[in-house]
Chains A and B, each alone.
Chain A
């Protein structure tokens, strides 16, 4: 897969606004979270907006999406309203899933989010069945499943790929690699895994993309989708990204505290702002937008989006 250069697409403002919307919506949710409004655990996905928007734009109406516990960005990117998401997190009947699923199992079949699992690796087997079923039914759509660098350590990752490759079932397998599993880095918990080499060994395709730039993500994903369908095999898309909202743990040997990646819960140091940039162009999809569009334009659009989303937030 990596031998085929992706075709560039022209950056467009609606896509940039979609990224901004997913970020701002999360910022509003975080404010409610900080205020103690939610009783359920929520895994924010600050820093993951670009891949979610790119996936939403790459998949067509027949494609389906299977998600893990960190799924909020995909629900928002696929068009879920902020009010519906907040109500779901408040477990209200007016929620996206009528208050039945909460955050870690948030699914939205009407928008193609068919199944979501809070269990690491659990969604890979279900996605394999969905993809197989689509093949048997002659469905032209593709199944896309999202996992992470922690969940890929589960045996189900290997099992699912073995079946998908062996039975020539097309599928997009997105690995959101933020380098952390809860508060442990990859180096702290295992040896490195070369996913490119692993994919080759299994007979799957592979590509890597920088998860900060939505346009790069979209271009690469579109190519990967086409390859999966044409080659009748799974394509692993490893997405390098940073989950923003870190904190520092007081620890001997770390004068400024030990850096701990954001995992779940309120992001205490993230504040509400119409310009919700939290990092730089290398790690923050919002900052990365400024490499494509003038910053004043983005600020202006963000201000309008902010005002619009604010109306959806309960007082």
Chain B
């Protein structure tokens, strides 16, 4: 099953379990490709109203808050994350006025991160951190089946507002399945592997690169711990810090294009808590003038070189 097929299936399962009315809305959610398959079939779920809307993102985000206030669960699906820029006033200001209300319904915004590199300077936004920082709304990413299950079944339809980001890079790939895992000890942090040579922590959609680094350690007969931080506003680093205290080496991979990255909080916390640790942050190349045209933009990691470069603190 592909990444999008799995998401679609689980979203439909979650929608069919909703006890009250739910609205799935956005441009083309129930026509054409249904957002490349993401929202396909939702118009047949009892109790679920699907609405193909006009191109009016400010109002679409505002509508979600209004539906939530009415007690109706709302799921706004946007084909590109940059569309959400037009709704930022609603995310920031409306939520600031409502965040202390006792809201019972859910409002989730799902955005697809289209940053394969060839979209040009305006359509390649990959900045969930910034939306969450401005709005103080929880943000969640999905890289694997585990993360999909956790976000879709434990988060999307809980009361309140949240933003979900999905990577188009994985859209047609098989849904990554990293086997059976114990439940996460910290909400928003998936712990995929245990090891003692290094602590590899991935943010945003960098899990595939993190797996590459962990595999590079394995090829040298070493083991690395591997964590994926899926909640943007996560600030409970206890489990990761405990691991770094053991490995004394932290590698942080973050493919966000933000300058205001949530991974910075972990780097700071680790530097303070484990000053003797070697810390290596790997981030996206800066968005310079040369890179503002269509190009093969991605977070590139030379895993072998990274594993070899031991003992050098790059922070």
Contact = CB atoms under 8 A, between A and B. Distances in A.
Interface residues of B, number: 30
A168 B51 CA distance: 12
A116 interface: yes
A134 B71 CA distance: 9
B23 A117 contact: no
Interface stretch (A53-61, A153-161, A183-191, A213-221): A153-161
A250 interface: no
Interface in A101-128: 101, 105, 107, 114-119, 121-128
Nearest to A157: B59
Q: Would you call the interface of chain B mostly helix, strand, loop, or mixed?
A: helix
Contact of B49 (A105, A119, A136): A136
A100 interface: yes
Given A128-B62, A160-B59, A100 B100 contact: yes
Contact of A162 (B21, B54, B100): B54
B97 A129 contact: no
A136 B93 CA distance: 26
A307 interface: no
Contacts of A100: 100
B94 A117 contact: yes
B60 A125 contact: yes
Given A125-B90, A136-B23, A136-B49, A163 B59 contact: yes
B63 A122 contact: no
A122 B97 CA distance: 11
A129 B54 contact: no
B66 A122 contact: no
A136 B21 contact: yes
B64 interface: yes
Contacts of B235: none
Contacts of B94: 115, 117, 122, 125-126
B69 A117 contact: no
Contacts of A258: none
B53 interface: yes
Given A132-B23, A133-B72, A163-B54, A122 B67 contact: no
B113 interface: no
A131 interface: yes
A128 B66 contact: yes
Nearest to A133: B70
B292 interface: no
Contacts of A114: 69
Nearest to A145: B66
A184 B63 CA distance: 30
Given A122-B93, A126-B66, A136-B49, A159 B59 contact: yes
Contact of A132 (B54, B66, B71): B66
Nearest to B74: A129
B66 A133 contact: yes
Nearest to A104: B97
A101 B101 CA distance: 11
B21 A126 contact: no
Contacts of B49: 136
Which range contains the number of A residues in contact with the other chain?
Answer: 35 or more
A167 B51 contact: yes
A115 B64 CA distance: 13
A130 interface: yes
Contacts of A124: 59, 62
A163 B68 CA distance: 18
Nearest to B107: A129
Contacts of A160: 56, 59, 62
A125 B93 contact: no
A11 interface: no
B62, B64, B72, B74: most-surrounded residue (chain A CB, <10 A): B62
Contacts of A10: none
Given A117-B97, A122-B90, A128 B59 contact: yes
Interface in B26-65: 49, 51, 53-54, 56, 58-65
A144 B125 CA distance: 36
Contacts of A132: 23, 51, 63, 66-67, 72
A163 B97 contact: no
A115 B53 CA distance: 23
A216 B21 CA distance: 39
B26 to A, nearest CB: 12
A160 B58 CA distance: 9
Interface in B88-136: 89-90, 93-94, 97-98, 100
Nearest to A139: B70
Given A155-B58, A156-B58, A163-B59, A129 B66 contact: yes
Given A115-B98, A136-B72, A156 B66 contact: no
Contacts of A125: 58-63, 65-66, 90, 94
20 contacts: A105-B97, A115-B66, A117-B93, A118-B93, A119-B93, A122-B62, A124-B59, A125-B62, A125-B63, A126-B62, A126-B65, A126-B90, A129-B65, A129-B68, A134-B70, A136-B21, A136-B70, A139-B70, A159-B58, A160-B59
Given A122-B93, A129-B63, 6 more contacts: A118-B93, A125-B65, A129-B68, A159-B56, A160-B56, A163-B53
A-B complex: 4 closest residue pairs judged by Cβ atoms: A125-B62, A129-B66, A133-B70, A129-B63
